[in-house]
Amino acid sequence: MPEPQNLFQQLLDWLNLNNMPPPGQILASMDLVAWTLVGLLVGAVVLGVFLSVSTRRSFLRPDDLEATPEVTLARLKQDPTQLPPLSIVSRMGAEATLELLEFGDQVQSREWRYKWSPVREELLRLMAQQNAFGPTYALARYYRSEDTHEPDTIRIRRTALIHKLGLLRYLEPDVAGNPAQLRVRSHPADVQGDLGFNGETLWLLPEEPAPRPAGPIVEMEPVEFRTLQDATIHVHIRRSPSVGGGFRLHLLKRRKMWVVADEEIEWVG
């Protein structure tokens, strides 16, 4: 078997590299055209390397919103419309989405609420579509109804209230400054409890006459159970005698926790 040194020498002889002139002689023999061609060649190589590196960085460098869930969350707290709700849920996960929901409900500026309302609505819908424990438990905590020892009717009403009014459970006073009131119609056997409404709460029987409203009203009808895992509740929000809406919320019990599976607008005034 020939030695590597002999193979290398044979390669040099075959390429005729031993007869090449020294570098100094090559440089001395180059004219203006040759130098121009060399310059163009070097420039093309440098440009190719630059474009390759910059293009690679543009593909590999993550977008500020996509870098980490923490960075994404921080950006969304400044502007919740920077990502579609589906991307928010898929990229951040249930816990970070819960943090965004809780943060978003606390901000009261008009500009934020204008942006936040549709994003929040879609986030809740997307989270409710997932049957896994993580999203379900995150929603239950958002709705402040994760305590499975509480009566179902209390948890359902609190869930519906937060779903419609947000975590603060607050409805702005009317133009005259009259505060809002929550009216809960319940059956005699239902347990009355704290729903966390930011204002006066009045519990009434289904057919009991209600006093004349002095300001905005939130009305909750009795909870209707289709099964032990399936319930419906009607919520009416009247910001004034001529402005308001009625909603039918369909809730499902998953892993012992209630989530809003569907919502229907019954009337708008």
Give the separation between CA 201 and CA 181, rounded to whole angstroms. Answer: 6
In a 10 Å sphere around its CB, with 0-12 CB exposed, 13-18 middle and 19+ buried, how is residue 177 labelled?
exposed
Beta strand ranges found along the chain (DSSP E): 181-185, 200-204, 217-220, 224-227, 230-240, 243-254, 257-268
Give the separation between CA 214 and CA 197, rounded to whole angstroms. Answer: 17
With a pLDDT cut of 90, the percent of the chain lying above it is 71
Per-residue confidence at 8, pLDDT binned at 50, 70, 90? low
Local structure of 183: helix, strand or coil: strand
Residue 20 predicted with pLDDT over 70 = no
According to the model, what pLDDT value does residue 34 have?
A: 67
Strands 181-185, 200-204: pairing kind: parallel
pLDDT digits (tens, 9 = 90+) for 71-96: 999 999 999 999 999 999 999 999 99
Give the separation between CA 77 and CA 101, rounded to whole angstroms. Answer: 10
Average pLDDT over residues 41-70: 64
Whether 171 contacts 237, CB under 8 Å: yes
Residue 11 predicted with pLDDT over 70 = no
According to the model, what pLDDT value does residue 57 have?
A: 47
Average pLDDT over residues 137-157: 97
pLDDT digits (tens, 9 = 90+) for 209-241: 999 989 999 999 999 999 999 999 999 999 998
Report the Cα–Cα distance between both ends of the chain, in Å, rounded. Answer: 97
Q: Report all structural domains of the chain as residue ranges with CATH numbers, in order of start.
A: 4-60 (no CATH), 152-269 (3.10.450)
According to the model, what pLDDT value does residue 13 have?
A: 64
With a pLDDT cut of 70, the percent of the chain lying above it is 81
Angle, in degrees to the nearest 10, between helices 133-142 and 85-106? 20
Q: What is the pTM of this model?
A: 0.76
What is residue 148's DSSP assignment? T
* Residue whose tokens read 């009717």: 153
Nearest CA to 150 out of 185, 186, 195 is that of: 195
Average pLDDT over residues 170-183: 96
Listed in sequence order, the residues at least 6 apart from 179 whose beta carbon sits closer than 8 Å to its beta carbon are: 173, 199, 200, 215, 216
Whether 183 contacts 161, CB under 8 Å: no
Give the separation between CA 130 and CA 123, rounded to whole angstroms. Answer: 11
Query: CB neighbours (10 Å) of residue 26?
Result: 11
Cα separations (Å) of 109 from 170, 174, 222? Answer: 14, 18, 33
Local structure of 132: helix, strand or coil: coil
